[in-house]
Amino acid sequence: MAKEKAILVDTTKCTACRACQVACKQWNQNSAEKTTNRGSYENPPTLSSKTWMRILFNEYYKDGKMSWLFTKHQCMHCEDAACVEACPPNATTHREFKLWDGSVLKSVATDADKCIGCNYCRVACPFDVPGYNEKKKGIYRCTMCFDRVTGGVKGYDIPACVKACAPGTLSFGDRAELILKAEKRVAQLRSDGYENAHIYGQSELGGLGYMYILTAETSTYSLPGDPSIPIGVTAWKALTNPYGAFAAGGLLLALVVNGVINARNRGLEEEHKLEE
């Protein structure tokens, strides 16, 4: 079996410089968005069709002291992807790209020509990722930089965000090797007194394209502890494949999966829409 590429985020090294955020915009030619000061350095407040990644400024309180827990937020390229399951016309699919070194780059992507703008993928995603573009009538998200990495051109053979990260928070490479690297780092952190140090993304949803080294409980990083595909989404896909009856089933999907949406993020999303 071909080796699989992934990205490892060592959050202990992140300085929140947001060079990755800027590099993502630049490489993908996504324009800036107008936002207002919400009393937080975290900006923009949500992902969107024009913002495919952002750095989260999580405030962590322990023994009366606050510290930042910075996290990179973008599509996780889940092996078991709720967005793929929820998409009625199968516009959102898993894609695999063979790289220059024989390894495989996996990416979850949406075919704009097939997207019908139902937004079900947005409702289903446990990470609040897909962004809908009203003008283009399509869904956009991190591509894992397949358009850049597949070329294998020296200097451009890693994702733009990884290339821009000076402190070495982000590593791109073979998944199995990154897991070994993460295990070593977690062992070191634990021996340094970070008893909650752990890896996130190794096995969640069948394995994520992005893995994280965290030093506190997962939820303090604004990540779901046990992400899953809502059961209604799986039932919905079985019911509507082919998707002729999707309008009737859509109500069922919306009712079931609405319950799992993170209320905070939904509030922020609305706020963001108003600001655009």
Residues 90-109 close enough to bind ligand SF4 by CB under 6 A: 108
| Options 161, 178, 182, 214; binder of ligand SF4; rule CB under 6 A | 161
With binding defined as CB under 6 A, does residue 141 bind ligand SF4? yes
Encoded one letter per residue, x for contact with ligand SF4 by CB under 6 A and - for no contact, window 204-233 reads ------------------------------
With binding defined as CB under 6 A, does residue 165 bind ligand SF4? yes
Min dist CB 208 to ligand SF4, Å, is: 8
Nearer to ligand SF4, 141 or 272 (CB): 141
| Options 49, 71, 118, 127; binder of ligand SF4; rule CB under 6 A | 127
Q: Which residues contact 259 (CB under 8 A, 6 or more apart)?
A: 230
User: Rounded to an integer, what distance in angstroms lies between the CA atom of residue 130 and that of residue 146?
Assistant: 17
With binding defined as CB under 6 A, does residue 8 bind ligand SF4? no
Min dist CB 63 to ligand SF4, Å, is: 25
Give the relative orientation of helices 246-258 and 231-239 as an angle to the nearest 10 degrees: 180
Residue 112 Cα to chain centre, angstroms: 19
| Options 54, 72, 106, 175; binder of ligand SF4; rule CB under 6 A | 72
| Options 81, 115, 178, 257; binder of ligand SF4; rule CB under 6 A | 81
User: Rounded to an integer, what distance in angstroms lies between the CA atom of residue 85 and that of residue 236?
Assistant: 9
The DSSP call for residue 175 is: H
Min dist CB 92 to ligand SF4, Å, is: 7
The DSSP call for residue 41 is: S
With binding defined as CB under 6 A, does residue 257 bind ligand SF4? no
CB 5 within 8 A of CB 12: no
CB 161 within 8 A of CB 169: no
Helix spans in 128-174 (H): 146-149, 160-164
Helix spans in 119-262 (H): 120-124, 146-149, 160-164, 175-191, 231-239, 246-258
Encoded one letter per residue, x for contact with ligand SF4 by CB under 6 A and - for no contact, window 27-66 reads xx-----------------------xx-x-----------
CB 136 within 8 A of CB 151: no
| Binding site residues, ligand SF4, CB under 6 A | 14-20, 23-24, 27-28, 52-53, 55, 70, 72, 74-78, 81-83, 108, 125, 127, 129-130, 141-145, 159-161, 164-165, 167, 169-170
